[in-house]
Structure 1
Amino acid sequence: MWNIFKKDLLTISRDRSEVIMLLGMPFILISILGFALGGLIEGETSISQIPVALVIENDQEADLADFEALLLEQGIPSEAIEEIVAGAKGADPAQVFLDLLEDPELEELIGLTTYEQAADAAADLEADEVVAVITIPKQFSYHALASIFLNEEPESVIELAVQDREQIRASVIENLIQTFTDRYNLETSILVANDGEPIEASFAEQDFGQVTTVSRAKPVTAFQYYTIGMAAMFALYVGATVSANAFKEKDTHVFARLIMAGERPLRYLTSKAIAATILTFMQLTILFSLSNLLFGTFSGQSSKYWLGMFIITFTFSFVIGGLATLLTAITLQSSQDTVSGIFSGGVVTILAFLGGSFTPVEQISPFIRALGNWTPNGAIMTAYMQLIQGFELTSIMPLLYRVIVMAVVLIVIALIIFPKRRIA
């Protein structure tokens, strides 16, 4: 058994194409994806400023004067008019909307330019210099205040012109105005219903429960994510590589000669499982070490963290050993070397997608994430991520138990279908 195990290690290590596949390719992908998609994984993506034109045709002072004259026409006492006008200055929707647009928190989102002429703004919209044109029409304040305080029908609204309503940036501006309008109407309706007095909510001293503070998980960097993701994906190729070597041994009658020399079939299968387990552990260790050395992926971690990494890595190596055992058993029953090819060409890609090697699948569908956690690589990826985020090892153990059960099931199936006698 030791000789078979040693032969597998030497055969794979001396095969340049296999070394490139198991170590070179994942490391190249780690480097490319870590740099290219760092902002996406770490939530640092940003959009450029949305250029917006603002045309103000409204004259607030003139509108307030016209509104005061309207109140006099209604026969309202002068003392009441003074109070209404004073309140109207603070409730003027035009000014409230302008204050919103000039809010510092919106500066990074909206690049606002004020135009004196509506025609100039329309021309820039046509030339795609701006995404939208917001117009505050004449007597907007007057009609809005008359609607609020005198219950008159509003005759003017904030106008929005966009070149393409399907553009995301145009939708952002449209949603901003709609949200402002809905919120302003709600607040003014409450004030009017309460005779202009703000609503004060008071609660009796009651026990409404207990507030528990939950610590936030540590963020996962792009290099951490893709180091784990690519390692989990390319570890699956170890199983295919070992089974492909088994077929070569069968095709060249090496397996038959071993059986004739007294080697037990189960010892042969066990050697393949051990070889795959050790190869996977070596592969993961090298990838993690190189990533940490060049990119500082896991720098500054405690000894407790590294103990968790060791346990998870060994568990994953064990299930890959079980996978290699099953693929080897199927391969030795086959007349052609199609098993490792199908597994490498299609099954690995599917497992990698479900497991989240390419992208966090929980952003696509929680169902895919749940399904992925029932694959060996997906469950191990989740375990690694939880460890990086600061989860206790006891919280991760259920996932590891699941993977161990998967390995045992794979080995049992392999033993059932593995040929117990010489294969022709």
Structure 2
Amino acid sequence: MLGAMIKKDLLRILRDRKALLITLLMPIILISILGFSIGKVMGEQDIGIAKLAIINQDDGAGNMERLLQVIEQVPVEEEGLRTLKDQVKELPTQMDPTSILVNELLQNEELTTFIQVEEGLSLEEAKEHLSQGDLTAILVIPHDFTYHVWSNLLFPVQNQVRLTLYTDPDQSLKGGIIEEILTGYTQALSNLVWTKQITMEMGIRHGLGEQLQQLLPKVMENVSSQVGGEIQLLEQSVAKVKKISGFDYYAAGMAMMFILYSVGYGVQYTMEESRLHTYERLRIAGRSRGLLLTSRFFASLIFIYMQLIIIGLFSSLVLGVNWGSWFLYLVISLFAAFAVSALALLFSALALGRQNRGLIDLFDTIIIPLVSIVGGSFIPVQSLPTFLVKLSPYTLNGAGLQAYLKGMQGQQLTALQGELLVFLVTGGLFILMTMFVLWRREE
């Protein structure tokens, strides 16, 4: 009898052309549209070389002269002043912030694989190239850059050190990387300045100011080695982990989103059969509500499983989507179908005896779009607020999407334990909630 009832429910679904259109055709269309459009910006192509124009306006000799003039006004003995001047004149060989930035950092051997430095352009010429997309960014080093850095290292009064960076908005990823590199450089300078300040203050407080002043050349040498130290860009590839394309991502995302629409159609069929008194007639024949809903559960399970298989085959054969191991795909799809069928079971139990479509509209227009966004079906979850990123793996969409992506990357079944556990736990909770709803109805 259960088999006959499952067959009845399956035939009811298969005869609904609108349901088939929504659950089978729409995901294929959206996978194609999103894969061709948004998918192209999801890292399908290499980043390429970032072209950085450096406009070096720094006046090294003028800054040294300016610094010596300031030192002339320092209230110290003539011998101490002469010693201080000699030490300051050695600064260019010990700590040249512009040379460190341009030669040791931006033209470091490791960075040349990513950044191509362009010099010799005027600011106006560089801006013209930037507007045409020939440059990724322009770095302007102001004329007093070295003076302010040296002053901050020598004197307690801190001057603001500025570097100006212009970036091409159409190359935001490469421009952002350059900006992060420069931010790291300026932060390193700031940290060293503060370290020097604290050291000098503690030395003066304990009567060691003169000794520390004698160590100034060594301090400058250490500063230079710290800021312009060796840079290593570590690029690692994970063995057997394949790259995810835009088509791959949205195939998984749309598949997980559209199986949820099967829940709404399950509720609709339940309400229609309640209106036609089908359940009452079956109950008169000795069939319980539990048996009726069990048939609905297995019918939903079979249909959703076949829905995922059809989406997977079509997207793979026609759109070239790489699902990885088909064994893993079938396992993930079975667990996903179980959890969603349990959700359909719960909503069907809530819909028993109801004629208001409010429950269906709530699920289709609010719940599905909401969980799809949180789960990452439309956009990667990393762009969402932090609390939603943490919530995403525990939603049906998020668990399914991550499981499929891991399968596409060639990971093993053991790597999917967390996502499969989410399906089992949520599916089990939905079934328990269904039993509670039926118990309350009997009461």
| TM-score normalised per structure 1 | 0.70
Residue 257 and residue 163 in structure 1: after superposition, are their counterparts in 2 closer, same or farther (change >3 A)?
same
Residue correspondence of structure 1 range 122-201 to structure 2 within 5 A: 134=140, 136-137=142-143, 180=185, 183=188, 192-194=216-218
- Other-structure match for 1:250: 274
d(CA) in 1 for partners of 2:97, 2:377: 50
Q: CA deviation digits over 1:18-40, x for unaligned, max 9?
A: 11210111111211222223244
CA contact (8 A) 2:106 2:117 kept: no
User: CA shift at 1:375, angstroms?
Assistant: 2.7
1:418 counterpart = 2:442: no
1:382 counterpart = 2:402: yes
Equivalent of residue 400 in structure 1, options 420, 433, 437: 420
Equivalent of residue 313 in structure 1, options 330, 333, 336: 333
User: CA shift at 1:281, angstroms?
Assistant: 0.3
Residue 253 and residue 290 in structure 1: after superposition, are their counterparts in 2 closer, same or farther (change >3 A)?
same
User: CA shift at 1:101, angstroms?
Assistant: 6.1
Residue 181 and residue 367 in structure 1: after superposition, are their counterparts in 2 closer, same or farther (change >3 A)?
closer
1:326 counterpart = 2:346: yes
Q: CA deviation digits over 1:308-367, x for unaligned, max 9?
A: 222221111112221221111111132323222211121112222222222232443453
CA contact (8 A) 1:8 1:242 kept: no
d(CA) in 1 for partners of 2:348, 2:150: 83
Gaps of 5+ in 1: 202-212
Residue correspondence of structure 1 range 279-294 to structure 2 within 5 A: 279-294=303-318
Deviates more, 1:43-52 or 1:368-377: 43-52
Deviates more, 1:286-295 or 1:369-378: 369-378
User: CA shift at 1:113, angstroms?
Assistant: 6.7
- Other-structure match for 1:13: 14
Match of 1:418, SS? helix
Residue 58 and residue 241 in structure 1: after superposition, are their counterparts in 2 closer, same or farther (change >3 A)?
same
d(CA) in 2 for partners of 1:146, 1:11: 81
CA contact (8 A) 2:57 2:141 kept: yes
Residue 307 and residue 59 in structure 1: after superposition, are their counterparts in 2 closer, same or farther (change >3 A)?
closer
1:224 counterpart = 2:224: no
Q: CA deviation digits over 1:208-239, x for unaligned, max 9?
A: xxxxx995682433222221111111111112
CA contact (8 A) 1:309 1:384 kept: yes
Q: CA deviation digits over 1:380-417, x for unaligned, max 9?
A: 33333333334432342343234223223322332343
CA contact (8 A) 2:94 2:220 kept: no
- Other-structure match for 2:25: 24
CA contact (8 A) 1:242 1:328 kept: yes
Residue 235 and residue 84 in structure 1: after superposition, are their counterparts in 2 closer, same or farther (change >3 A)?
same
- Other-structure match for 1:36: 37
- Other-structure match for 1:356: 376
d(CA) in 2 for partners of 1:326, 1:156: 66
Amino acid at match of 1:372: S
d(CA) in 2 for partners of 1:171, 1:388: 29
Amino acid at match of 1:323: L
Amino acid at match of 1:332: L
Residue 75 and residue 365 in structure 1: after superposition, are their counterparts in 2 closer, same or farther (change >3 A)?
closer
Amino acid at match of 1:26: P
CA contact (8 A) 1:121 1:133 kept: no
User: CA shift at 1:279, angstroms?
Assistant: 0.6
Amino acid at match of 1:11: R
CA contact (8 A) 1:30 1:230 kept: yes
d(CA) in 2 for partners of 1:27, 1:366: 31
1:268 counterpart = 2:292: yes
- Other-structure match for 1:204: none
Q: How many residues align?
A: 393
User: CA shift at 1:264, angstroms?
Assistant: 3.8
Residue 317 and residue 373 in structure 1: after superposition, are their counterparts in 2 closer, same or farther (change >3 A)?
same
Residue 346 and residue 135 in structure 1: after superposition, are their counterparts in 2 closer, same or farther (change >3 A)?
closer
Residue 346 and residue 47 in structure 1: after superposition, are their counterparts in 2 closer, same or farther (change >3 A)?
farther
Match of 1:54, SS? strand
Residue 333 and residue 370 in structure 1: after superposition, are their counterparts in 2 closer, same or farther (change >3 A)?
farther
d(CA) in 2 for partners of 1:263, 1:324: 20
Aligned CA-pair RMSD = 5.2
d(CA) in 2 for partners of 1:296, 1:341: 35
CA contact (8 A) 1:55 1:121 kept: no
Deviates more, 1:189-198 or 1:411-420: 189-198
Question: What's the % identity of the aligned pairs?
Answer: 24
CA contact (8 A) 2:44 2:246 kept: no
Gaps of 5+ in 2: 72-78, 197-214, 226-235
Amino acid at match of 1:33: L
Amino acid at match of 1:9: L
d(CA) in 2 for partners of 1:393, 1:193: 60
Match of 1:220, SS? coil
CA contact (8 A) 2:301 2:337 kept: yes
Residue 387 and residue 194 in structure 1: after superposition, are their counterparts in 2 closer, same or farther (change >3 A)?
same
Amino acid at match of 1:335: Q
Deviates more, 1:37-46 or 1:403-412: 37-46
Amino acid at match of 1:297: V
Amino acid at match of 2:140: I
User: CA shift at 1:250, angstroms?
Assistant: 1.6
CA contact (8 A) 2:139 2:166 kept: no
